[in-house]
Amino acid sequence: MLKFQRKYFIATIILFLVEVFIALFVHDSFIRPFFGDVLVVILIYCFIKSFINSPVVITAVAVLLFACTIEVLQYFNIVKVLGLQNSAVARTVIGTSFEWTDLLAYMLGVGLVILLSFYKHLLKK
């Protein structure tokens, strides 16, 4: 089950750097709020796959459930409930605003992971 997979680790680093770039330098109404959320679930997926050799769909669905849980917690203002409203790290990592479009972005990102995996599997045949 535990297995280091270098290609996923490299993808994690690249996606993380792209997310940091978006957060620091992109201030628009599509890339930062939507495309960044699509990428974040792919980033989390790649991070998990870097260390755990698990089935694609199970891992992707687990990532989707995790991301949706965080989003629902944002709806209930979990940062404030936990008393972390003054923590920039907590506000950044957990988030502070619920958006239905974020749930759509997460589903799209996980869908891309599954689709690319399926396509890759077809190419091997």
User: Band of the pLDDT at 124, cuts 50, 70, 90?
Assistant: confident
In the predicted structure, residue 72 carries a pLDDT above the cut 70: yes
97 neighbors 40 (Cβ within 8 angstroms)? no
In the predicted structure, residue 120 carries a pLDDT above the cut 80: yes
**C-alpha distance from residue 54 to each of 2, 66, 84, 103, 106 (Å):** 9, 16, 34, 24, 20
Write the pLDDT tens digit of every residue in 51-62. 999 999 999 999
In the predicted structure, residue 28 carries a pLDDT above the cut 80: yes
pTM here?
A: 0.92
In the predicted structure, residue 125 carries a pLDDT above the cut 70: no
Mean pLDDT of the chain: 94
